[in-house]
Structure 1
Amino acid sequence: HPEGAFLDIVAEMGLAMAYDAQARAVRVNHSGIDLRAVRVDCRDIPDMLPVLATLGTFARGRTILENIRHVRLKESDRVAAMLQLNRMGGRLNIDDDRLTIDGVGQLRGAKLSSFNDHRILMSLAVAGSRADGQTTLTYPNAYRISYPRFLDAMRSIGVPMSVVDRPANGQRTASKAPLLKPNAAAATTLIEQLRKHAGERPDELAVVEAAEDHDRVLSWGALNDRVDRTATLLLQLGVAPGESVAFQLPNSLDFVVVALAALRVGAICCPLMPIFREREVLFCLRRSRARVLFVPDQARGRHYAGEVAALLGETSVFSGDLPLRLEHVIVAPSGRKVHPLPAPDNAAGVAWLHFADAVAQITPDGAALDRRAAAPNAPAQLLFTSGTSGEPKGVLHRNDVLMRAAAMEVEHLGLNAQDRIFIPSPLAHQTGFLYGMWLAVGMGVAQIVQPAWNAERALRALNEWDGTFVQAATPFLADMVNAVEGGARPPAALRIFVATGAAVPRGLAERATRILGAAVCGAWGTTESCLGSLAAPSDEPAKVWGTDGRALRGIALRIRDDDGRTLPAGEEGNFEVKSATMFEGYVDHPEWTAAAYTDDGWFRTGDLAVIDESGYVRITGRVRDVINRGGEKVPVGEVEQLLADHPAVAEIAIVAMPDPRLGERACAFAVLRERAAFDFARMQHYLDACQVAKHYWPERLEIVAELPRTSSGKIQKYVLRERAKGLRPQERAKEPVA
């Protein structure tokens, strides 16, 4: 094992250590330690750097650890983490690809962070054992991942170590500056906020990647450094201001770093949904004109790099009316097995790079990056909607619009500097990107990103990292509630869950509030408009449950009929919004952009809705989802809400089923709860008991294992409409069903 070299290194430092084969242990013999400085190449032993840095601090002379760039890409930036020894009186310095340690012999106690990294925790704890005064370390249980007996072992040799309860707020230091109001937020940039947090609180927690079997963390200082390294790489690749940088990455540290690096050089973030396959990826790359693409090596059973290589092997993609302009593919590590990079043998000679290797070679060029600082009103984001109607649209947003939108939510919900944002939603979707990553960086609070959804893992991460706020689609909420009901520990610090994508059924909202102990707030928004309506924790539950909230401050909402007349409260019609958080337009399709607005400048949402006397919005359906049954419109949303409240029904969606006589009839697709009994006859008798007009009843019920959804959780009704084309009405039940 490469780490076997440790015995030789400490022997060179003057400490006799030898492996006793009979005892199957290492024996240490000394009578007082007098260590000598050494020079060590860390290329093959990166995990040894933390403990060697501690040993070097107690050695005579200057210890030099070389080839350390790749050590900065481990569970945490271990080089930066060990610089905390300087707070204890150490003398460590980073010199390009070297870490120099001048021995000082004696240290003083200090408050340090382990960044939840087991090697950092144990190495700094050893340093603290020889310091005057008390040393405290955050995330004290990190050692359990590799050496569960560490604490007992240290105590057995007389070192007084213990784990104490955290402060009630967790290990965090709130920014002293107040959170920005919407107008002030719109006058700055996300990168300016990142650099501010890194300068003021470099060692505080910024990002956690809560994977299934491990956590990776970055402090604000480490995040800023990694962003600058990646941004310098983009400069070297020739990325120009206003150019799109595409990345199809799962929720991860890499996603956050790449997105911020693109903004750092004045480029446009163009995240692609991980669920996109070759057809959608090609479409988005062509439309965005991106020359640089980041992909994971592999994730969730897919070899992304291999898929891109196969795509590039088709020479036709580089020609036509909208040719592919891709020049560089950067592959991020995503597992223990790393596939070799494809050779640049396609027609355009696309170059391939390993992300970790490329960044490790980089020395950040701060001056060049500062010259690329974008203005607040510069374009910042290009999102391709996965769509409930089929074809993706490229939605372009400016930085100031996104800054304002995030600050409006902070103001509306009363979020504060003690919050921590948990992000299960895909970061490539507006919910995860804007109301997760962007929100956290703008506020200067930690974000916890979950690479792959699992409700039990989400609850563990929320408890381990004190997550207080989640914004995600309704299915995420339902899964968490079911997991807690199944025995999982409820999230102790969670205080707000904003449910998007579809209205929260009243029964689920009540259960979630009771079981999770958090306020459940309905919301409405689109990729184009950002959030338009949102409930608040202070709202009356009777007003909140079953609605999509009320307009945020500065946003106007209205309901109009098909003739353009504004309707009074309580009447259903076309839902329209006017806001300072609107998109710039659809890329390459000005005609789509023009059609999205009314003559007087209101955005046509495509939704049907009702606004009550108190201003609360209830989305009742999509304009295109209206079912016209012989001239009578079926209130789809109302019937869906009623069926969602049936104890046997987990999920429901109603779409039009073609009919030669009436034109359309309603067809319901239902997902049932486990071991639940529900069929067409039971559905009819239930709706009869609810006193629903019979011509509003679905005339066919299809029981399915799951409903087709976009990655953000929205039901893809166009898929269900296609299924319904070949279906016919079922006969009405004549007798009640028990």
Structure 2
Amino acid sequence: MTFDLTASARRDAMISSGLWRDETLLDFFRRHVAAHPEKCAVIAHRADTGAETRLTYAELDAVSDRLAIGLARLGVQDGDVVSFQLPNWWQVPVLHLACLKLGAVSNPLMAIFRERELTFMLGLAAAQVLIVPARFRNVDHRAIALNVKAQLPSLAHVVVVDGAEDEAFDRLLVADVRDEERAALAARRLSPDAVIELLYTSGTTGEPKGVSHTSNTMLANLVPFADRLHLGAGDVIHMPSPMAHQLGFMYGLVLPLMLGATAVLQDIFVAETMARQITDEGATFTMGATPFLNDLADHCLATGTKTPTLRVFVSAGAPIPRPLVAKAREALGAAIISAWGMSENGAVTTARIEDPEDKVTGTDGCPLPGMEVRVVDPAGTVLEAGEEGQLQVRGCSNFVGYLKRPGLAQMDADGWFDTGDIARMDEDGYIRIAGRSKDIIIRGGENIPVVEVENLLFKHPAVSAVAIVGYPDQRLGERACAFVIPKAGRTLSFQEMVDYLKAQQMAVQYIPERLEVVEALPQTPSGKIQKFRLREMARQSA
């Protein structure tokens, strides 16, 4: 398959500056396997069965070898996309390592996606293999995957965790490895500029975009991130965020294996369970959107639970309210660190552990080494400190393009990427996100594809016009409200809207939480809907 490749001029600059190391995760991982093979690498808990899986570095290396050969027997080759729609189970890090060993591209998919989203994403990627759970959270993922497979000739194999017979995931963990297969795997060398991850993100067009990263772009983020937060091999990293989200993938899967640390994976977020896992496993670091921080803090305060080993909680995905920081510090006894980033570049800015209160609670941090940020007006003129404008970023961890959609990357000739966010920067170079020019809603750290939802809702026979906006929510950051003008003589209830979107196979998390039926939508003289006025209306009536 074809991705936009890394420009040679950018590569030369990154290599000469030392920001790209020209290494892959496998280079780090194999050093850790050699140095401490019996150290625990992954601890994964399953909420449905209560099962716990622990894998040492040596075991993780061996089982990912077996899986790589199993995938190769299915026909997976260098550059092919392997898609997996899995919770935070032990199979995910094994799959990513196996893909790296084959030179294949890991394509993690959120568990909330249904036939509509999966058909588009797998079709665009021309994925040959899709790996799903038999069931997760009362959803029959096997049935969904088989329905999608019937529509996509390129999707040759559906593999099922907890499946039976030929489709069972365990059958890929081949035991009868042939000498020539082992030799071929050992001889492979992954290029640091090869695309290793394809992650879909929603944008203003309503069409998911396939963000592509290489080892160089991803590790260029994680190395300085770990340095800034003083993370190393002795840390135990707890991850409640889905590894099918960039936050979970980069900081719950790749980061601990890069460091030689231990990863603790939580598949369904429950604050009580998270607190217990942190305590039982001695977790020192965790990361998630504000709902995770809020609920964990509330649980610990209500029950008197202590998390004495936890040093750092990085909250990203939405600005942290000041009262939440104070509450979380009291409850957890850990440093609460703000951060901002995107799937396209990972965490771009973070506060520092040593930062004063106003930087942690009043900003979204300053750039990591190797990244630059600037705030510009619509003409591209850099603005003074304190002025709001369009946020642009440039540097080592910027992605290398959108799959088959090179024209969608808003990047100028000098490498500045338009984030679509509105921000201001203080005199010290710390930014604060003020809003978004992109038409998306961030609900609990997850982007809601507003245009796609609007387009579907517009097709409802009772709908004449529709606009969806976000409104503030203390726990999730934002929720979605749909403003609808009904057709003459027709009505639309909230439940009818929900049932209709579900029938269109829309992910439940994308469905608006509120419906406001109105006679007109505020518009500019040119007819453009004034969403800022709708946001204010939604905020006032919330």
Tell me the TM-score range normalised by the shorter chain.
0.7 to 0.9
Is residue 419 of structure 2 the alignment partner of residue 605 of structure 1? yes
Cα distance change, pair 238–503 in 1 and its aligned pair in 2 (3 A): same
How far 1:211 moved relative to its partner? 2.8
| Aligned residue in 2 for 1:619 | 433
Report the secondary structure of 1:586's partner residue. coil
User: Which residue does the alignment assign to 1:199?
Assistant: 34
Question: What secondary structure does 2:362 align onto?
Answer: coil
Work out whether 1:330 is the aligned partner of 2:167.
Answer: no
Q: 1:268 aligns with which of 92, 99, 105?
A: 105
* Larger RCO of the pair (alpha carbons < 8 Å, separation 6+): 2
Matched, 1:297 2:113: no
CA contact under 8 A between 2:199 and 2:211: conserved in structure 1? Answer: yes
- Offset at 1:412? 1.6
Distance 1:538 1:307, change over 3 A: same
Mapped partners of 1:560, 1:287: distance in 2? 34
Over 3 Å counting, the alpha-carbon distance change for 1:384 and 1:520 in structure 2 is: same
Residue of structure 1 in register with 2:483 after alignment: none
Q: Residue 390 of structure 2 corresponds to which residue in structure 1?
A: 574
Query: Which residue pairs with 2:66 in the alignment?
Result: 229
Task: Describe the SS at the equivalent of 1:310.
Answer: helix
- Cα distance in 2, alignment partners of residues 587 and 666 from structure 1: 27
* CA separation of 1:565 and 1:410: change in aligned 2, threshold 3 A: same
Could you give the per-residue CA deviations for residues 172-213 of structure 1, whole angstroms, max 9, x where no partner exists? xxxxxxxxxx94873211112222212221111000002333
The DSSP-based 3-state class of the residue aligned with 2:193 is coil
Pick the structure with greater CA Rg: 1
Checking the alignment, whether the CA contact within 8 Å between 1:241 and 1:372 is kept in structure 2 is no
Cα distance in 1 for partners of 2:171, 2:393 equals 47
TM-score by length of 1: 0.58
Distance in 2 (CA, whole Å) between partners of 1:197 and 1:610 is 42
Q: Distance in 1 between matches of 2:43 and 2:207?
A: 34
What SS class does the counterpart of residue 213 from structure 2 fall into?
A: strand
Deviation at residue 618 of structure 1 after TM alignment = 0.4
**Does structure 2 conserve the Cα–Cα contact (< 8 Å) formed by 1:424 and 1:458?**
yes
Deviation at 1:522, TM superposition (A): 0.7
Distance in 2, matches of 1:458 and 1:726, equals 46
Please state if 1:248 is matched with 2:85. Answer: yes
Structure 2 SS opposite 1:410 = helix
In structure 2, distance between residues paired with 1:672 and 1:262: 39
Q: Say whether the 8 Å CA contact 2:19–2:370 is kept in structure 1.
A: no
Q: 1:449 to 1:555 in 2, by over 3 A?
A: same
Measure the CA separation in 1 of the matches of 2:132 and 2:473. 34
The offset of 1:511, in angstroms, is: 1.1
When residues 358 and 378 of structure 1 are mapped into structure 2, their CA distance, relative to the original with a 3 A threshold, is: closer
Match of 2:498 in 1: none
2:378 aligned to 562, 565, 569, which one?
Answer: 562
Q: Partners in 2 of 1:385 and 1:476 — Cα distance?
A: 21
**Is residue 257 of structure 1 aligned with residue 94 of structure 2?**
yes
Structure 1 position 219 matched with structure 2 position 33 = no
Is residue 461 of structure 1 aligned with residue 277 of structure 2? yes
Could you say what the CA RMSD is over the residues aligned between the two structures, in angstroms?
3.3
Match of residue 517 from structure 1:
333
Change (3 A) 1:726 1:405: farther
Q: CA offsets per residue over residues 64-113 of structure 1, 9 Å max, x none?
A: xxxxxxxxxxxxxxxxxxxxxxxxxxxxxxxxxxxxxxxxxxxxxxxxxx
Offset, 1:670:
5.4
Equivalents in 2 of 1:446, 1:721: separation in Å? 41
Q: CA deviation at 1:257?
A: 0.6
Summarize the Cα distance change of 1:399–1:671 in structure 2 as closer, same or farther, 3 Å threshold: closer
Q: 1:186 aligns with which of 1, 5, 21?
A: 21
CA contact (8 A) 1:230 1:258 kept: yes
Kept in 2, the 8 Å contact 1:421–1:446? The answer is yes
In structure 2, the CA distance between the partners of 1:672 and 1:475, relative to structure 1 (3 Å rule), is closer
Q: Which runs of 4+ in 1 moved over 4 A?
A: 386-389, 665-668, 670-673, 718-730
Indicate conservation of the 8 Å contact 1:417/1:444, yes or no. Answer: yes
Q: 1:382 aligns with which of 183, 195, 198?
A: 198
Give 1:215 deviation, angstroms: 2.1
State the match for 1:471 in structure 2. Answer: 287
| Partners of 2:131 and 2:161 within 8 A in 1 | yes
Find the residue that maps to 1:186 and give its secondary structure. Answer: coil
Residue type of the partner of 1:198? V
Deviation at 1:217, TM superposition (A): 0.6
Contact conserved, 2:66 with 2:172, CA < 8 A, in 1?
no
SS in structure 1 of the partner of residue 167 of structure 2: strand
Structure 2 counterpart of 1:586, which letter? Y
What is the SS of the residue equivalent to 2:232? Answer: coil
Corresponding letter in the other structure for 2:42: V
- Contact 2:161 2:169 (8 Å CA) reproduced: yes
What is the CA-CA distance between 1:387 and the residue it aligns to? 5.2
Q: Percent identity?
A: 36
Is 1:391 aligned with 2:207?
A: yes
Structure 2 residue identity aligned to 1:508: L
TM-score, normalising length: structure 2: 0.78
Q: Which amino acid aligns with 1:550?
A: C
Query: Match for 2:360 among 544, 550, 568?
Result: 544
Alpha carbons 2:393, 2:416 under 8 Å: kept: yes
Q: 1:561 to 1:220 in 2, by over 3 A?
A: same
Aligned counterparts of 1:666 and 1:226: Cα–Cα separation in 2 = 46
Call closer, same or farther: CA 1:388–1:723 in 2, change over 3 Å: farther
Q: Render the CA deviation track for 1:142-161: whole Å, top value 9, x for unaligned.
A: xxxxxxxxxxxxxxxxxxxx
Q: Structure 1 counterpart of 2:132, which letter?
A: V
1:291 CA displacement? 0.8
Q: Evaluate the alpha carbon distance shift between residue 297 and residue 613 of structure 1 in structure 2; reply closer, same or farther with a 3 A threshold.
A: same
The Cα shift of 1:531 comes to 1.5
- 8 Å Cα contact 1:481-1:515 kept in structure 2: yes
- Within 2, Cα distance between the matches of 1:394 and 1:612? 33
Check whether the contact 2:204–2:439 (CA below 8 A) recurs between aligned residues. Answer: no
* Count of aligned positions: 456
Q: Deviations over 1:3-59 (max 9, x none)?
A: xxxxxxxxxxxxxxxxxxxxxxxxxxxxxxxxxxxxxxxxxxxxxxxxxxxxxxxxx
**1:390 Cα deviation (Å)?**
3.5
When residues 722 and 566 of structure 1 are mapped into structure 2, their CA distance, relative to the original with a 3 A threshold, is farther
Q: Deviations over 1:659-704 (max 9, x none)?
A: xxxxxx998745579xxxxxxxxxxxxxxxxxxxxxxxxxxxx9xx
- SS state of the match for residue 340, structure 2? strand
Change in CA separation of 1:491 and 1:230 when aligned onto 2, cut-off 3 Å = same
Is the contact between residue 420 and residue 437 of structure 2 (CA under 8 Å) also seen in structure 1? yes
- Equivalent-residue separation in structure 1 for 2:172 and 2:245 (angstroms): 27
Q: 1:409 to 1:725 in 2, by over 3 A?
A: farther
Q: Closer, same or farther in 2 for the Cα pair 1:185/1:574, shift >3 Å?
A: closer
Deviation at 1:311, TM superposition (A): 2.7
State the shift of 1:724 in Å. Answer: 7.8
1:459–1:488 contact (8 Å) kept in structure 2: no
How far, CA to CA, are the matches of 1:607 and 1:389 in structure 2?
16
Extract unaligned runs of 5+ from structure 2. 1-16, 443-447, 451-466, 476-493, 495-500, 502-508, 522-532, 537-542
The answer as to 2:171 corresponding to 1:357 is yes
Tell me the residue number matched to 1:210: 45
Distance 1:670 1:589, change over 3 A: closer
